[in-house]
Amino acid sequence: MTRYIGEFINTLTNLVYVIYAIHGIRSFRQKKNASAFRAIPYWGLMAVGICSAAFHGSLKYHTQMMDDLSMQLTTTPVLHRVLTVNSSQRTSTAVAILLSVLLVSFATFHVITDELILHSASFVVSVTIIGIRTMQLINLRTEPGAAARRQIWGLVKFGAVIFNVGYVVWLLDGWACEFLKSARAAIGLPWAFLLELHGWWHICTGIGAYIFIAVVDHLASGEDHRDIDRSFAWPAPWASRSIFAGKDIGVDEKRNLDDGESSVVIMSGELLKPEKDFSKDADKIIPEAQELAKSNVQAAIDKLSLLEKQARQASDLATTSRTIVTIVTISKESGDWSLLNDQVLLLSKKHGQLKQATTKMVQKVMEFLEDTPDVETKLSVIETLRTVTEGKIFVEVERARITRYLSHIKKSQGDLNSATDILCELQVETFGSMSRREKTEFILEQVALCIEKGDWTQAAILSRKINKRYFARKPKKTPEQLEKEQKEYEERVKTRASDEPMPEKDESVEDLKLRYYEQQITLAKHDHNYLDTCKHYRDVLDTESVEEDAERLRAVLARIVYYVVLAPYDNEQSDLLHRIQQDSRLSQVPTEARLLKLFTVHELMRWPEIAETFGPHLTSTDVFDKEQNPNDADAYTRWQDLRKRVIEHNVRVIAKYYTRIQTSRLTQLLDLTEDETEKYISDLVTSKTIYAKIDRPARVINFAKPRDADDVLNEWSGNMRSLLGLLERIDHLITKEEMMARIQPTKSEKVKA
């Protein structure tokens, strides 16, 4: 114990929680399209360290409550993660709300009653569920006997052991407290720190908690198992290859071979060489089966099924893939689409079926969709493919494409609700094997369907999944740079592993950018959020294709001006207004430039004159309309809002130059009735844009804000300081003149000289 910290070592060792939490949060920055929600468990781990340090540093009752509740802050996000793997967004949200309600309820009950039984029981139940679900995920996401499974089991076993070691140390610290105190006093510093067993409890539980959080995130996100060494912090990489993993993982298992050069099977990060090569048998049997299929389809399939079984059991990927692709092709060419569906289901459920072979089969059947004789048959094949790909990460991209195909069919049939629900159930932002461009296209299509359906809230939520930085404008590249990048891309394609997604090519995304901001403008217009609409048009303006097209450039510039003057006045709107005015490109839209300038100077604008001068030009666009238009009711609303902004500008100008004014004179300046004048002044006062008080009996409006005693004294103090400064300067000038007069020669001295 020190003068400032209650328990120094117990406080210091909480840094373990914070350090591991920071490492986990920073690791997400290196991963493409990593959702911010995945970092919540690490923030909970950091909260454990901070709250525990606060308690051991202060030894206060309220910090003890924080220390107790911080454990629940860590386990609850992890519990949500393991319970919602592969769940829809609606289910995930419902589980999150339920767990949040339970967490708040338990926390409130614990703080009020200060009991530990329910608190401890809920913590044990959460940890137990997390442990059971983690074991299920390991069995689900890894192959039996695979090196990846041994690695992850090694991590889990090590985490459990070190967590229990910490628990035993904590029990010993409480049981032998007096003995440890006397031993530390006898040994002395610094070695006495080693007997601070509660500090070792913090270190052990910090490592164990980090390992479980990292393993759950790794399994739930479906990341490549070969990333364990790179993304996990020490001692996780060591634990994954230690005695806890069962046996060492050899160097050969870590090699990454290309699928086109070898029939090596890559399963969950492990490389399995085929026990026997059946390629020669396939070269002989497949042509025979294709010939036999012309007379007896079932016999041909049976013949190929025998070869498929032998190749599958021997882990011969090349032959297995060729065989099952031939089976589904024969089924399709027979014209019996029911047979095709049955074979796809049967082949996908074979024991130990190779993942890459299943992927190739699904891709092949997807090519058959355009050849189906009618919509019913096409829907049956799509439903079969969706059944086969459900819950399988290695075909998540194919499932997404099939689902989009089904959504297009539903939309063409006029069932917009079903089309939207089917497509929006996909959470493509979590798909690690899908390219970023394709993810963006999926999300844009989801947003478009929601807008068409009229579900504006869901459309806004989905649009936030797209990071605007993806659309950032890239500098132009020379032909040499483009050629170099093309060679590097081709090299990455050649050297990639068969289970890795295609590398992303650095290409223009202007088409996606324009689609995205078109949707954002639609959403902002629906909410009558003029300032956001203006910002979105400014982002559209920062596009090469728009800048090169003079007509589109003028249209975008005009709409930027329209929506910035339509936006309600505040500091942000005023700043944006002046920044837009400084844009030299406004000279291309002189009418809009003159309108914008009127809003930047403190001069009155008479609405009748504005309507007469700018009305014909403004109403010729699709933004404004002087009359109600059934095709676009918002155009008339925007015209009325423009009148409102002109009047509000005039009120601000009058409030700047007048301290008090007669109501009759004010209504004359604003071209309004007395009731309308009071309404506009009241609105501006409510929004705290101006200060005003209306004296109805005297028919006078005061704009002078009353000052309290502090303001008066501050002004008097400032005036006195200024006055004293002037007096000091005058004294200095007088002294200077006197000194100059003394050193100048007199007339008698001049005569003598």
Structure tokens at 258: 């290309």
Domain shared by 202 and 322, yes or no? no
What residues pair up with 272 in beta bridges, in sequence order? Answer: 265
- Please compute, for residue 729, the number of CA atoms within 13 A of its CA located in the half-sphere on the CB side: 6
Structure tokens at 456: 């504006």
Residue 472 DSSP symbol = P
Domain shared by 540 and 658, yes or no? yes
Task: Measure CA 443 to chain center.
Answer: 13
Domain shared by 242 and 275, yes or no? no
Domain shared by 146 and 237, yes or no? yes
Domain shared by 524 and 631, yes or no? yes
Which pLDDT belongs to residue 574?
92
Helices 510-526 & 456-463 angle (0-180, nearest 10)? 140
Residue-wise burial string across 93-122, b where 16 or more C-beta atoms lie within 10 A, e elsewhere: eebbeebeeebeebbeebeeeeeeeebeeb
Q: Quick check: is 490 in a domain?
A: no
Contact criterion met (CB below 8 Å) for 692 and 681? yes
Which pLDDT belongs to residue 477?
73
Number of structural domains in the chain = 4
Q: Is 33 left (phi over 0), alpha (psi -120 to 50) or beta?
A: left
The answer to whether the bond into 77 is cis (omega within 30° of 0) is: no
Residue 500 DSSP symbol = S
Q: Quick check: is 279 in a domain?
A: yes
In the numeric block, the tokens 């430039």 are attached to 593
Domain shared by 601 and 517, yes or no? yes
- Tens of pLDDT, residue by residue over 312-341, are 888 888 899 999 999 999 999 988 999 999
Q: Quick check: is 339 in a domain?
A: yes
Cβ count near 653 (within 10 Å): 16
pLDDT at 255 over 50: no
- Tens of pLDDT, residue by residue over 530-567, are 999 999 999 999 998 999 999 999 999 999 999 999 99
d(CA 362, CA 121): 47
d(CA 185, CA 188): 5
The letter for the amino acid at 170 is W
Structural domain for 52, as ranges: 8-254
Residue whose C-alpha is closest to residue 133's, from 48, 45, 222, 215: 215
Q: Quick check: is 506 in a domain?
A: no
Domain shared by 429 and 378, yes or no? yes
Q: Quick check: is 631 in a domain?
A: yes
Q: Over the Cα atoms of the chain, what is R_g?
A: 37
Domain shared by 70 and 34, yes or no? yes
Cβ count near 64 (within 10 Å): 17
d(CA 741, CA 753): 19
The letter for the amino acid at 541 is L
Helix/strand/coil for 489 = helix
Contact criterion met (CB below 8 Å) for 301 and 257? no
Q: Is 294 left (phi over 0), alpha (psi -120 to 50) or beta?
A: alpha
pLDDT at 253 over 50: no
Which pLDDT belongs to residue 387?
92
Q: Quick check: is 468 in a domain?
A: no
Domain shared by 245 and 299, yes or no? no
Backbone phi, then psi, for 178, in 5-degree steps?
-65, -40
Question: Of 419, 439, 460, which one is at a domain's C-terminal end?
Answer: 460
Structure tokens at 521: 């403008």
d(CA 65, CA 222): 36
The letter for the amino acid at 663 is T
Average pLDDT, the chain: 83
Which pLDDT belongs to residue 270?
44
Which pLDDT belongs to residue 406?
93
In the numeric block, the tokens 């949707």 are attached to 519
Residue whose C-alpha is closest to residue 119's, from 167, 68, 73, 82: 68
Q: What is the DSSP string of 689-737?
A: SS--EEETTTTEEE-PPP--HHHHHHHHHHHHHHHHHHHHHHHHHHHHH
Structure tokens at 717: 């103090």
Contact criterion met (CB below 8 Å) for 621 and 661? no
d(CA 516, CA 448): 10
Q: Quick check: is 407 in a domain?
A: yes
Would you state the torsion angle of the CA atoms of residues 464, 466, 468, 473, taken in this order, to the nearest 10 degrees? -160
Q: Quick check: is 2 in a domain?
A: no
Question: Of 254, 278, 312, which one is at a domain's C-terminal end?
Answer: 254
Check which CATH number belongs to the domain holding 313 and give it: 1.25.40
Domain shared by 139 and 45, yes or no? yes
Domain shared by 248 and 379, yes or no? no
Mean pLDDT of 485-494: 74
In the numeric block, the tokens 């969709």 are attached to 369
- Tens of pLDDT, residue by residue over 106-157, are 788 877 887 777 777 887 888 888 888 888 888 777 766 667 778 888 888 8
Domain shared by 172 and 291, yes or no? no
Check which CATH number belongs to the domain holding 593 and give it: 1.25.40.570
Q: What percent of the chain has pLDDT over 70?
A: 89
First-to-last alpha carbon distance for the chain, in angstroms, is 89
Residue whose C-alpha is closest to residue 494's, from 226, 227, 260: 260
In the numeric block, the tokens 């604003």 are attached to 670
What residues pair up with 267 in beta bridges, in sequence order? Answer: 270
d(CA 497, CA 516): 33
Helix/strand/coil for 267 = strand
Query: Between 458 and 40, where is the model more confident?
Result: 458
Structure tokens at 612: 């007469």
- Tens of pLDDT, residue by residue over 85-98, are 766 677 878 888 88
Backbone phi, then psi, for 146, in 5-degree steps?
-75, 150
Q: 214-228, 239-253, 292-306: which range is least confident on average?
A: 239-253
Contact criterion met (CB below 8 Å) for 477 and 512? no
d(CA 317, CA 326): 14
Structure tokens at 610: 């504005």
In the numeric block, the tokens 């032909």 are attached to 479
Question: Of 205, 221, 254, which one is at a domain's C-terminal end?
Answer: 254
Cβ-proximal residues to 570 (8 Å cutoff; 6+ apart), any chain? 689
Confidence of residue 256 (pLDDT cuts 50, 70, 90): very low
Confidence of residue 248 (pLDDT cuts 50, 70, 90): very low
Stated pTM of the model: 0.61
Which pLDDT belongs to residue 325?
93
